[in-house]
Amino acid sequence: MEQLKSDFLADLAKGLGDHPEKESILKEYSVHLDELLVDLYQIDDKSELQAHVHSRFGSPEEIAAMWKEELSVTPSNMKWLFIALNILFFVGGGILTLAHNLLDWNWLNRLWANLTSFPIVIALVYMLFWALLGYEIGRGFGHKGKRLMTRTFILALIPNLTLMLLTVFRIIPHEWFSPLLKETFIVLCILLTLLLYPVCLISYKWGKKASV
């Protein structure tokens, strides 16, 4: 088993070449190999062991290619991508809300009525966006992505908090969001906002596990 592990890590090191995260990647896979090989201690055949390892992690060449590909995705790009998407959600929603309240278009009124008939669906879709944020950062940056996820979360949350304050202080008329602004929906929004970071964190851990 030790020989299999050594060969796997040697091939991985060769494939990674001058990758800047080479040492941390090798350490991470060394730990995961130890965990997997403990579960496979009853298997004596080297070929069968190797098949299990490759099935779980992929071949060293595949792993190296994956990490090299992810070099092109910088933390800054990932962070601003999600922030931009969140802003896009708010801008799109803002334009729709403004148009609905200022323009008397039948098709727009029907669209608004349909969308506001299922507020829970809107909320769940938005939660999926935050789950995707955590997952993609975990999958793309592994154990080093938690700080990036936290920074991205805080910056991306600014539009949410801004909208809440504008609504609470009635800078934005409550009537504009009719029939959404009911007590149950407000409580739901507060609850979901509190759940955003735990959702991101759980998804991040899931993504980090999937990256191995």
54 vs 94 pLDDT, higher one:
54
Q: Give the pLDDT band (50/70/90) at residue 198.
A: very high
Of residues 58, 11, 14, the one with CA closest to residue 32: 58
Average pLDDT over residues 8-22: 86
Q: pLDDT tens digits for 54-80?
A: 888 889 898 888 777 665 556 666 677
Q: pLDDT tens digits for 162-191?
A: 877 777 677 777 676 665 666 666 777 778
Q: pLDDT tens digits for 30-46?
A: 988 888 888 877 777 87
pTM of the model: 0.55
Give the Cβ contact number of residue 25 at 10 Å: 20
Q: What is the DSSP string of 18-46?
A: T-TTHHHHHHHHHHHHHHHHHHTTT---H
Percent of the chain whose predicted confidence (pLDDT) is above 90: 4
Q: What is the token pair recorded at 191? A: 């609850």
Q: What is the DSSP string of 101-119?
A: HH---HHHHHHHHHHHT-H
Q: pLDDT tens digits for 119-174?
A: 778 788 888 888 988 888 888 777 667 888 888 888 888 887 887 777 767 777 76
